[in-house]
Structure 1
């Protein structure tokens, strides 16, 4: 799918942002670029286990930025599991964001920050309510998207002040991206011994959750009520964290926004020389003129070479594998783990937008559909009986196959094990965008769930803001109580596959009803399951 977007860019001059398909972006063209706003206010000092910090009093909330949650992964610590965070004795300035993790930041995506990038990037940001009269507050830990190659916890759209003002402590953070975060090589595997290898970015996520567990009480948070929440690659990360043994007990609720679930991550190694994460790592080392590379050889590669040109339109598949199933940290594909009931027993909200990838101009939908089918190992013919005609297939299938069907299936699997889960479908388009946009594209729900429409360019109406208020209320209520009951909002029933009811967020407001396109999604699920069974 990413390669298709790259082809569209090359052949037509369209950018992914204007197609509404930026996996890290928040509907850049549909919503307009973010407005970078830095809060100003008096300083405030608090103490965490590492030492004293000085943040900003923003009125109803206090903010603390650029707090290291692990040692800088530089030099000999590149491509190692995160090490303990540093300590200090002098007051540390926590009034401004730190560096983003190294990435090839494309100019077409103006939802990204323009902060410096470096390998020394493992920091987090905290917004906490000023008033803690009711006791420790629930905690929301946000994992950003970006296809595991882009993004940061410092993007303006992820400002946590509005959620914190509702009574939650909000944490955003950076994790290693691209080859810095996801890289396997036989030399590194041998060095790791019995320890996990390859998924350094996911290891960072667990390290951030450990930091929250150990430190958040000092900032007003309740370490026994931690919600991990993410969108796109961040949502996929949440799904894997529910199955990573080292993450158990570090969070107590999960929110998955457009997280997929049927993605097939490569294995660390494969028999017979088949493509694997290690073989891709060897190919990268060879491209750097390093045959039979040692760990010292690998760590001597200049950061710019490690970065390469990786972004959402330049996947560099021959030399970059992305996240992998290493067998010790990531032990299974998400859908397989959920089917066995191996996921963490925590309440979950899961859903997707109604037109994730369907906002592509009609001229290019066939290319995107072909690539989606190739990735899934399916043929057009196998899907024509489901969609009826080519135009409908091209318009809806990429979104439904990649995001919408997996979300509903994972909800059903979770509910089938007796676990509390709530399903939603986000189809709201801001009133000023409806003449140009047929549905809610990928990531357009994020400024609503953070209640940060004011960080977007463009005029937003009272109706738009009402939707943002409702989503933020639901999310904070879920973090607080483990169920998304919010005052003055419609009741949201717990998901049950027999009734198949979801929260529907659309032009008519917030309602509940049958999950959209249920028959079509059932047929897609049967097709995907049949394909998966045949591949085993």
Structure 2
């Protein structure tokens, strides 16, 4: 990147749309919104896409917004959905916090020619934390590249994933339960279909993209019949893939308790032995936050039989996923801090290995130290991403696999690679929001990722002539694009022999 280009990127990063910028109005299906504009981007924030899920609507599918008369100010983000303290995660936005949190935010290029592709971001945070309101996810830099960016809030923790026999008993026939967060996402996508054109967006070119739990949500939306007509491309960033979901009313495939049994256990723990649905809805929201539900342990990965009908891997293996172009990938040192001996659901992933399997896999890592440092990342993320990418390509759909290995020089963490979630400010080209100081090399990496992502949103293919070509897996099997400190590089999937052994382990377990 030239010095002029570097300075241009820096200036763009320092000029986001502010609530104090000139106002601009747009007519939506629910009423007039008053947003803010600078010389390049229009922004509309805190837009309700569903009715507040409070009172009798807690643990109900999202209901339509009640429209408003007259202009509604859209200059500030809405409230966070209830969640535990952020612990420094830049993916959590500003207070206040409220169950009335089903809002979204839109950034649109100001001087657009024709309809722009739409990118809908689904944040991560283990389905317990996060929001679409964080500065990290500000859509200004992406919108400058000619796309409409939408970020959403959705219900979290037990408010987003919960069931109990008392709730099940009151549901009418055909009403889905348990997966309220996924229902919120679908409601937001329906809002996008109804309103994209008002913001200059093309409802026929919608990309869903998400990281971590957000990536896991994307793969579930890809398998959801209700979500299928609402998007046309998908991006999965560190989104697992081999995880086992929890059914509402029967044990999981791993023999773990159903979601309703988990709900009963929770209610009894807080002194509600035979509660009514009204008793459950009267629990203060803050009481529902502790102890936090377990993401990989199955509390928030739910098979409800309607919105999500089966595990992601099984759906992809059967070719039931949405037939859309897919970008999928992981970071080079996802869970570098986590050991397979840890007392956590992630530490249990290798527990079913036979002695011979473990000995062979440990040897492939060069011994116990290498195994302890990398196997959880490979078991949970790297092999799973490769597996889903292969299945999607095998079904005849354009598939692009990546590996993110950009590490800022000042970062002192001893992980020898890019840790989980570290790609987010690069994808959004919002490096000013990240923890470590960034230099020209990092800005070049961010510009590249944002360019690839927005090009993919536009045409379903991330490639342009002036950038390194990203191999498509159907045409070039087991090739990926690696984002490195020296720039993007097309190469064979790293450490394939380790991933092959893990694939064999999963196949034997199944």
| Distance across 2 between alignment mates of 1:493 and 1:486 | 12
Where does residue 450 of structure 2 map in the other structure? 472
**Superposition deviation, residue 271 in structure 1:** 6.6
Where does residue 135 of structure 2 map in the other structure? 156
- In structure 2, do the counterparts of structure 1 residues 510 and 225 end up closer, same or farther at CA, with 3 Å as the change threshold? same
**Superposition deviation, residue 41 in structure 1:** 1.5
Equivalent position to 1:178, from 152, 157, 175 = 157
**Superposition deviation, residue 59 in structure 1:** 2.4
| Distance across 2 between alignment mates of 1:271 and 1:499 | 37
TM-score (normalised: structure 1): 0.87
Mind listing any 5+ residue stretches in structure 1 that lack a counterpart? 1-33
| Distance across 2 between alignment mates of 1:282 and 1:435 | 41
Where does residue 358 of structure 2 map in the other structure? 383
**Superposition deviation, residue 42 in structure 1:** 1.2
Indicate yes or no: 2:477 matched with 1:499. Answer: yes
- In structure 2, do the counterparts of structure 1 residues 476 and 457 end up closer, same or farther at CA, with 3 Å as the change threshold? same
- In structure 2, do the counterparts of structure 1 residues 190 and 36 end up closer, same or farther at CA, with 3 Å as the change threshold? farther
Where does residue 322 of structure 2 map in the other structure? 344
- In structure 2, do the counterparts of structure 1 residues 132 and 408 end up closer, same or farther at CA, with 3 Å as the change threshold? same
Where does residue 396 of structure 1 map in the other structure? 374
TM-score (normalised: structure 2): 0.91
**Superposition deviation, residue 286 in structure 1:** 1.8
User: Could you give the per-residue CA deviations for residues 46-67 of structure 1, whole angstroms, max 9, x where no partner exists?
Assistant: 1111111111113210000000
C-alpha RMSD over aligned residues: 2.4
**Superposition deviation, residue 373 in structure 1:** 4.4
User: Could you give the per-residue CA deviations for residues 42-93 of structure 1, whole angstroms, max 9, x where no partner exists?
Assistant: 1111111111111111321000000000000000000000000121112111
- In structure 2, do the counterparts of structure 1 residues 304 and 371 end up closer, same or farther at CA, with 3 Å as the change threshold? closer
- In structure 2, do the counterparts of structure 1 residues 86 and 399 end up closer, same or farther at CA, with 3 Å as the change threshold? same
Where does residue 219 of structure 1 map in the other structure? 199
Bigger relative contact order (CA 8 A; separation at least 6): 1
**Superposition deviation, residue 497 in structure 1:** 8.4
Equivalent position to 2:182, from 194, 202, 209 = 202
Where does residue 75 of structure 2 map in the other structure? 95
Which aligned runs of 4 or more in structure 1 are off by greater than 6 angstroms?
Answer: 34-38, 271-274, 314-317
Mind listing any 5+ residue stretches in structure 2 that lack a counterpart? 1-12
Indicate yes or no: 2:269 matched with 1:287. Answer: yes
Q: Is the 8 A contact 1:35 1:456 kept in 2?
A: no
Where does residue 432 of structure 1 map in the other structure? 410
**Superposition deviation, residue 487 in structure 1:** 5.0
Give runs of aligned pairs for residues 409-448 of structure 1, distance below 5 A: 409-433=387-411, 437-448=415-426
Where does residue 3 of structure 2 map in the other structure? none
Q: Secondary structure at the match of 1:513?
A: strand
| Distance across 1 between alignment mates of 2:368 and 2:354 | 9
Indicate yes or no: 2:315 matched with 1:333. Answer: no
| Distance across 2 between alignment mates of 1:274 and 1:491 | 44
Indicate yes or no: 2:277 matched with 1:303. Answer: no
- In structure 2, do the counterparts of structure 1 residues 462 and 35 end up closer, same or farther at CA, with 3 Å as the change threshold? closer
